[in-house]
Amino acid sequence: MPHATTAPVPRTRPRWWTELPLLALVYGAYSGGRLLVRGDVSTAVDHGLRILDLEKALFLNAEHPLNRLFTAHPSIGIPADFAYASLHYLVTPAVLIWMFRRHSAAYRRARTWLMTSTMLGLIGFTLMPTCPPRLLAAGHGFVDTMAQYSSYGWWGAEASAPRGMGGMTNQYAAMPSLHVGWALWCGILLWRHGRHPLLRVAGVAYPLITVFVVMGTANHYFLDAVAGAAVMGVGALVARPVSRFAERGKNALLARFAPVSPVTQSPDVSAGCKTSAGERIPGQRTTSADPTDAAGPAGPPAPADVPASAGRAAGGDTAAAAR
């Protein structure tokens, strides 16, 4: 009886050595794209002032009171500056690794969601370069807390960039706020997949704290935060189609460049032996009974010159003697 075999379980988690180059490539393209899409400074300032005027008209201008609070109280401003300069680059990879190790079934879509939203944010930087509040003229009432407390950290006057490296970042990429967008991505995943209550609390607190931090440090407007959340929402909607498109592209490339395997012939069960019609292979069972096999062991053959009637008579005498 043939042994039953189970089909191999398909891999749900990709290999980490293929994920790292992919993520590095996307982040490198995003960072390089930010530098290439630097717009005119005057245009960026005009966009920033229009956003500020719109917020004042809608009574959404929370940047001024928060900025004054962070400026007047170092116990609030300094931790906020550290949070702005570091959590963006620490929490997001940590959540991505956590999804890879603990929730591999949902990792692919989460990764695609993050990368797609990041590229959408790059489109926003291209279409609408925006001056952050900290770079507006002093008459607009904002103080750059990163510059004020720069002696406490590694940053200078160029937002979260280390001292002397401000030229490697785009200072006018405020719309949308991917600080808020990435924090929202982390929060949703922590809330959805976290089993411990503290993880779910962190999933709610982290995006909210990030919104207050980016506004209080004068790095973003409130509408920048709203745009960052909107970008993540669009990224979540298109993540599944993007995943299917990428999968089809990968399969097409594999089919195009994969080596052609040789055609294997069916095995020769006769091992080169040939039989004629009616001849049995040794050990083969037959489908019909053979009269000679069914009759049991045969007796000595009768002499050729003995008539058939004599043989029957001899058999009758033997049977009579037995009785």
Whether residue 104 has pLDDT greater than 90:
no
Kindly indicate the confidence band of residue 96, based on its pLDDT and cuts at 50, 70 and 90: very high
* 113-168 pLDDT, tens digit each: 999 999 999 899 888 999 999 999 999 999 999 999 999 988 877 776 776 666 56
Kindly indicate the confidence band of residue 81, based on its pLDDT and cuts at 50, 70 and 90: very high
HEC states along the chain?
A: CCCCCCCCCCCCCCCHHHHHHHHHHHHHHHHHHHHHCCCCHHHHHHHHHHHHHHHHHCCCCCHHHHHHHHHHCHHHHHHHHHHHHHHHHHHHHHHHHHHHHHCHHHHHHHHHHHHHHHHHHHHHHHHCCECCHHHCCHHHCCCCHHHHCHHHCCECCCCCCECCCHHHCCCCECCCCHHHHHHHHHHHHHHHHCCCHHHHHHHHHHHHHHHHHHHHCCCCCHHHHHHHHHHHHHHHHHHHHHHHHHHHHHHHHHHHHCCCCCCCCCCCCCCCCCCCCCCCCCCCCCCCCCHHHHCCCCCCCCCCCCCHHHHHHHHHHHHHHHC
Instruction: Give me the pLDDT at residue 167, please.
Output: 59
Helices 74-102, 16-36: inter-axial angle, 10-degree rounding: 140
Instruction: Give me the pLDDT at residue 230, please.
Output: 97
CB atoms within 10 A of CB 105: 10
Instruction: Give me the pLDDT at residue 166, please.
Output: 60
Number of alpha carbons in the 13 Å side-chain half-sphere of residue 27: 13
Instruction: Give me the pLDDT at residue 243, please.
Output: 75
Instruction: Give me the pLDDT at residue 311, please.
Output: 46
* 37-74 pLDDT, tens digit each: 666 789 999 999 999 999 999 999 899 999 999 999 99
Instruction: Give me the pLDDT at residue 316, please.
Output: 47
Mean pLDDT estimate for the chain: 79
Mean pLDDT throughout 295-305? 49
Place of tokens 């979540």: 236
* 209-255 pLDDT, tens digit each: 999 999 999 999 999 999 999 999 999 999 888 878 777 776 776 67
Reported pTM: 0.72
Tell me if 302 sits within 8 A of 311, measured CB to CB: yes
Instruction: Give me the pLDDT at residue 73, please.
Output: 97
* 169-208 pLDDT, tens digit each: 778 889 999 999 999 999 999 999 999 999 999 999 999 9
